[in-house]
């Protein structure tokens, strides 16, 4: 009987200890990885202050660009690729780009004057417009876009955008109206294209890190004007998508 009594006491003690541990044990919290977004890139090893964290930030960006290139032409037949990451149909063109915008107020100007095969092309932003929340009112600075950034499409690799603008604009050719109320977008990015070959290594095979397929030692400016009408056999799938980029960016 004594043996049974001792066994019963031991069982009671063990159960009491287990109950006590269960009460004292902290709850298990499973960490959910933070999703990628325009200001959040999990896995990065360095952070930067956002513009609005700076006491002296006035929001005004003044830039110019040179070494312009055109992807395709204005008169390509349907079925074109006007992203052309392989740089198979790219031509150097003469021209200038002037940007003077205020990121806080979402105001300012963007105007590109380019000599293309068809003549003198002018693309101008008429008003800024936010098409998605990450565009921050139509002008945004120091955000991540494209690729797997959680902002924008995946036609281009993920990049830090030093400055970007979205909205509606128009274009003229030889002084005559060409497009009206078309979408216009520009972005000053890290180097998406190789400075020598102009190719974009995207998608980048066997990536070693979550970083975008860009060269942070270079900068470039991309801009385009596109129609609201869709054409599925084109890339991107718009009836009109006139795309240019500049391999030289000047901050003023």
DSSP notation for the chain: -HHHHHHHHHHHHHHHHHHHHHHHSPPP-PPPPPPPBTTB-TT-S-----GGGSTT---EEEEEEEEEEEES-TTPPSS-BSS-TT-SSEEEEEEEEEEEEETTTTEEEEEEEEEETTEEEEEEEEEE--SSGGGGGGEE-SEEESTTSSSS-SSS--EEEEEEEEEEEEEEETTEEEEEEEEEEEEEEEE-S-TTT-----SPTT-SSSS-S-EEEEEEEEEEEE-SSB-TTSBSSBS-EEEEEEEEEEE-
- Domain for residue 198, yes or no? yes
- Domain for residue 78, yes or no? yes
Q: How many domains does the chain have?
A: 1
> What pLDDT does residue 12 have?
44
> What pLDDT does residue 23 have?
53
- Domain for residue 134, yes or no? yes
- Domain for residue 216, yes or no? yes
Structural domain boundaries enclosing 163: 58-251
- Domain for residue 31, yes or no? no
> What pLDDT does residue 17 have?
47
Which mean pLDDT values do the consecutive 10-residue runs of the chain (252 residues) have?
47 48 57 82 89 97 98 97 98 98 98 98 98 97 96 96 98 98 98 98 92 96 98 98 98 98
> What pLDDT does residue 197 have?
98
> What pLDDT does residue 45 have?
87
- Domain for residue 163, yes or no? yes
> What pLDDT does residue 31 have?
63
> What pLDDT does residue 47 have?
86
- Domain for residue 8, yes or no? no
- Domain for residue 15, yes or no? no
């Amino acid at each position: 009987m004594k043996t049974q009594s001792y066994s019963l006491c031991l069982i009671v003690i063990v159960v009491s200890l287990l109950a006590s541990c269960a009460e004292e044990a902290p709850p298990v919290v499973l960490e959910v990885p933070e999703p990628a977004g325009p200001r959040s890139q999990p896995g990065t090893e360095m952070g930067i202050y956002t513009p609005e964290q700076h006491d002296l930030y006035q929001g005004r960006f003044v830039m110019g660009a040179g070494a312009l290139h055109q992807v395709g032409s204005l008169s390509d037949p349907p079925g074109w690729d006007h992203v052309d990451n392989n740089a198979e149909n790219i031509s150097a063109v003469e021209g200038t780009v002037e940007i003077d915008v205020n990121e806080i107020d979402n105001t300012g100007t963007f105007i590109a004057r380019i000599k293309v095969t068809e003549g003198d092309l002018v693309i101008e932003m008429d008003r800024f417009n936010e098409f998605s929340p990450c565009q921050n009112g139509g002008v945004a600075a120091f955000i991540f876009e494209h690729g797997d950034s959680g902002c924008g499409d995946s036609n281009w690799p993920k990049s830090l955008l030093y400055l970007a603008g979205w909205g509606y604009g128009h274009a003229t050719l030889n002084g005559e109206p060409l497009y009206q109320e078309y979408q216009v977008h520009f972005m000053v990015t890290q180097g998406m294209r190789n400075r020598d070959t102009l190719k974009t290594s995207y998608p980048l095979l066997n990536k070693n890190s979550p970083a975008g397929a860009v060269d942070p030692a270079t900068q470039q400016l991309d801009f385009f004007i596109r129609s609201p009408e869709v054409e599925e056999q084109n890339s991107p799938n718009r009836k009109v998508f006139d795309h240019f980029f500049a391999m030289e960016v000047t901050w003023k």
